[in-house]
Amino acid sequence: MKILFLILLLISGLSGMAQNQIKWPENKKSTIVLTYDDALPSQLKVAVPDLQRAKLTATFFLTSDIDSNSIASWRMLSKKGFELGNHTVFHPCAGTDDNPVPSDHYTAYQIIREIEVMDRFLYAVDGKTKRTFAYPCAETIVGGKDYVDSLRKYTLVKYARAGGDSTAFITDFSHLDPFRVPSYGLEGGETGAQLIAFVKKVQQSGGLGIIMIHGVGGDYITISAEAQRQLIGYLQTQRNEIWIPTFQQAMDYVNKQIPLKAQKQ
């Protein structure tokens, strides 16, 4: 009886896996999304020119650090098909070691209001009404409480990117929570070979891999310009195999193929 149960469990698991497979556009075999956080100057100076030369798109999660010097550039990028995402106004995080604004005293309502203000700010920059979000420091908790479900109910953003390591790519789409979309958060110093190894793992899985990048050749949590160039070079050789959309394009596509449930955690 026990064995029969195990066999049934195995079969249901396998058929579940088959259902969760996704067919990517243009017969591509997997998807990679490049995301850049915190509106860092090195992104405009180093990352963007290399992306544009390679005709690749990406998503930039911005805070109110965008200013009179950079807003014209961000606006131009939006016009050229890059996505500007919401990363709050002040980037509040737990503790104050690395971040000037601690999130410890925030309520869910306060951070959602802050996301709403940034939403209006970004509307003034690019005129877009649909927005994606990335949790500051990949933390879904403020003031000791998880605010994912509050954010979900507020319907301000449709998808939210969370964090993860190099194993955090998505293969099981039917269980994907659109407000906890995992990503490979770079820690800084990754080599081109390490970044390419991640892409290859995603390719083998047929899934979706999202990379969270900060500084490129400068600023903080930095990868070298050369590491990004090697990654871009590899992605260019895989153009027929890998789809490389913005975060919103990828999630809209996944949602259309496999309607994502508003899951309660």
Q: Which residues bind Zn ion (CB under 5 A)?
A: 37-38
Amino acid 79 reads: K
Least separation in angstroms between residue 138's CB and Zn ion is: 8
Cα–Cα distance, 184 to 167 (Å, whole number): 7
Q: Which is nearer to Zn ion, 92 or 207 (CB)?
A: 92
Q: Which is nearer to Zn ion, 38 or 126 (CB)?
A: 38
Cα–Cα distance, 104 to 107 (Å, whole number): 9
| Structure-token pair, residue 245 | 């959309």
Q: Which is nearer to Zn ion, 24 or 61 (CB)?
A: 61
Q: Which is nearer to Zn ion, 70 or 171 (CB)?
A: 70
Least separation in angstroms between residue 65's CB and Zn ion is: 10
CB-nearest residue to Zn ion: 37
Least separation in angstroms between residue 259's CB and Zn ion is: 29
Least separation in angstroms between residue 45's CB and Zn ion is: 18
Cα–Cα distance, 172 to 20 (Å, whole number): 5
